Amino acid sequence: MTRRFIIKEIHQQKLKDQKAVIKGWVKSVRTAKWGAFIVVNDGSCQRDIQCVADKDIEGFEETVAKLSIGCSIALTGNLVESQGRVKAIEMQVESCELIGGVSEDYPLQKKATSLEFLREVAHLRSRTNTFGAVFRVRHALAFATHKFFNDRGFYYLNTPIITSSDAEGAGDMFRVSTLKKGESDYSKDYFGQETFLCVSGQLEGETFAQGMGAIYTFGPTFRSENSNTARHLAEFWMIEPEVAFFDLEDNAQLASDYLKYLISYAMENCLEELEFLQQMYKKDLIETLNHVKDSPFEKITYTEAVEILNNSGKKFEYQATWGSDLQTEHERFLAEEHFNKPVIVTDYPKDIKAFYMKLNEDGKTVRAMDVLVPGVGEIIGGSQREDDYEKLLSRMKEMDLKEEDYWWYLELRKFGSVPHSGFGLGFERAVMYITGMSNIRDVIAYPRYPNNAKF
């Protein structure tokens, strides 16, 4: 029996003068007097393979002549170097077997289809060049994430998805409950208390960092905020490293090393995908990524950011004032127009940040950092954590948080407390940034957002 090769290995190894089986979906078919060109893709890589079927081959009329876009087929034949200018590998077909035909209502028959339309047929969009490219890059970035942290001695931790703590009120939460309609006594609920889907694994991550040294999580995260934007999902994936004996400077360095590593990994392993995405969606994608990978990130304090915004002469919808959170328009101005590269903003006013961030000596700001990138805005949020028991407790009181809800979190500050830091990277935001896609709904398989969970 002839061996099946995936198209990726055929192109990568330039397999030629060899018999092979190819299985995949028909991208296009062109018939002529002498026979047909069948272009096939099997999802293994960006590149298709051209297959040349002579009219005389067995079963030409019953199979090849009837093929249409989207049919699944198995082709057997010889791999040869093509005669043309580009010496690509192609197949000289000996036999063609139709595996699955395509009915007339196949929505992807036309070559050009909009991203909006493809969201309506999310179950089929992985067949397109765009989604093949995006999801191969997404895979590579997930793999690179594990490699990056593993190589640096971090341990991969899975924090709970069902949780009773609201992690700082990072976002609005989805309730998890088995109570019947009309019942509202949560002490009778499944867990004997109110529970939710996690908005972050940070607090649990901190407990393990203060035992294992350095951990990272990489898991689903849920926020029921009503944000119908191109950068928010109700269900997204977050990577949260947390490290003991680590201050804000170490944390910022880790964040920039990690982002640069992701970019380098994608450039080395997904260049054809990036080239395709560049051609289709973002003309300077590769040049920009190269630039970011080779130059240091900008680092400014929140106070400096507000000054830059106010001296910019630019009219914003909301003026930046010290003490209020940076708006998306501010973040994008800083990253896109002012610096035109990733910017790390540190030391935000304590009142706009979570209770667990370490208070600076000025008593007004905390050791927070956000990483902003062109095209996306905030991609990472992190901080050095408050490691002093009394200071943490008084912050919690100021913010009306109940001590008994966080007793275990507070205890970490009683038993061998250490300076420690961490951050959260929104995985889809990173995928957007590196693929150049402008809507977060196009970088996750089945996006969840207000009024949409239909697939």
**Interface ranges with ligand ATP (CB under 6 A):** 170-171, 223, 227, 232-233, 236, 238, 378-381, 424, 426, 428-429
- Least distance from ligand ATP to the Cβ atom of residue 356, Å: 12
Sheet holding 343-349, edge to edge: 155-156, 214-222, 235-244, 420-426, 377-384, 365-373, 343-349, 298-301
- Least distance from Mn ion to the Cβ atom of residue 161, Å: 20
Q: Which of the choices ligand ATP, Mn ion, none does residue 232 contact, using the CB cut-off of 5 to 8 A by kind?
A: ligand ATP
Q: Which of the choices Mn ion, ligand ATP, none does residue 447 contact, using the CB cut-off of 5 to 8 A by kind?
A: none
Closest CB to ligand ATP among residues 281, 449: 449
- Least distance from ligand ATP to the Cβ atom of residue 186, Å: 25
Phi first, then psi: give them for residue 22, nearest 5 degrees.
Answer: -120, 135
Q: Which of the choices Mn ion, ligand ATP, none does residue 335 contact, using the CB cut-off of 5 to 8 A by kind?
A: none
Closest CB to Mn ion among residues 357, 431: 357
- The radius of gyration of the chain from alpha carbons, rounded to an integer in Å, stands at 26
- Least distance from ligand ATP to the Cβ atom of residue 371, Å: 8
Strands 298-301 and 343-349: parallel
- Least distance from Mn ion to the Cβ atom of residue 347, Å: 14
Closest CB to ligand ATP among residues 24, 377: 377
- Least distance from ligand ATP to the Cβ atom of residue 380, Å: 5
Q: Which of the choices Mn ion, ligand ATP, none does residue 347 contact, using the CB cut-off of 5 to 8 A by kind?
A: none
Is residue 422 a contact residue for Mn ion (CB under 5 A)?
A: no
In the chain, the N- to C-terminal Cα span, in Å, equals 39
Nearest by Cα to 449 from 441, 261, 300, 298 = 441
Length in residues, the chain: 455
Q: Which of the choices ligand ATP, Mn ion, none does residue 429 contact, using the CB cut-off of 5 to 8 A by kind?
A: ligand ATP
In contact, 276 and 129? CB cutoff 8 Å: yes
Is residue 171 a contact residue for Mn ion (CB under 5 A)?
A: no
**Binding residue for Mn ion, selected from 381, 419, 426, 436, defined by CB under 5 A:** 381
Residue recorded with tokens 């061996």: 3
Distance between CA atoms of residues 129 and 238, nearest Å: 26
Closest CB to ligand ATP among residues 76, 346: 346
Is residue 426 a contact residue for Mn ion (CB under 5 A)?
A: no
Closest CB to ligand ATP among residues 171, 342: 171
Closest CB to Mn ion among residues 277, 431: 431
- Least distance from Mn ion to the Cβ atom of residue 360, Å: 18
Q: Which of the choices ligand ATP, Mn ion, none does residue 367 contact, using the CB cut-off of 5 to 8 A by kind?
A: none
Q: Which of the choices Mn ion, ligand ATP, none does residue 79 contact, using the CB cut-off of 5 to 8 A by kind?
A: none
Q: Which of the choices Mn ion, ligand ATP, none does residue 428 contact, using the CB cut-off of 5 to 8 A by kind?
A: ligand ATP
Q: Which of the choices Mn ion, ligand ATP, none does residue 330 contact, using the CB cut-off of 5 to 8 A by kind?
A: none
- Least distance from ligand ATP to the Cβ atom of residue 233, Å: 4
Phi-psi region of 17 (alpha: psi -120 to 50; beta: other; left: phi over 0): left
Q: Which of the choices Mn ion, ligand ATP, none does residue 420 contact, using the CB cut-off of 5 to 8 A by kind?
A: none
Distance between CA atoms of residues 428 and 59, nearest Å: 46
Which residues on neighbouring strands pair with residue 22, listed in sequence order?
A: 75
3-state secondary structure 30-83: EECCCEEEEEEECCCCCCCEEEEEEEEEECCCCCHHHCCCCCEEEEEEEEEECC
In contact, 144 and 266? CB cutoff 8 Å: yes
- State the residue number with the nearest CB to Mn ion: 381
CA 20 to chain centre: 35
Sign of CA dihedral 389, 149, 237, 260: positive
Which 3 state secondary structure label does DSSP give 207?
A: helix
Buried b / exposed e across 406-418, counting CB within 10 Å, b at 16+? beebeebbeeebe
Is residue 424 a contact residue for Mn ion (CB under 5 A)?
A: no
Closest CB to ligand ATP among residues 5, 237: 237
- Least distance from ligand ATP to the Cβ atom of residue 267, Å: 21
- Least distance from ligand ATP to the Cβ atom of residue 301, Å: 18
Closest CB to Mn ion among residues 377, 381: 381
- Least distance from Mn ion to the Cβ atom of residue 353, Å: 8
In contact, 99 and 23? CB cutoff 8 Å: yes
Sheet holding 195-197, edge to edge: 162-163, 195-197, 175-176
Q: Which of the choices Mn ion, ligand ATP, none does residue 380 contact, using the CB cut-off of 5 to 8 A by kind?
A: ligand ATP
The footprint of Mn ion (CB under 5 A) covers 381
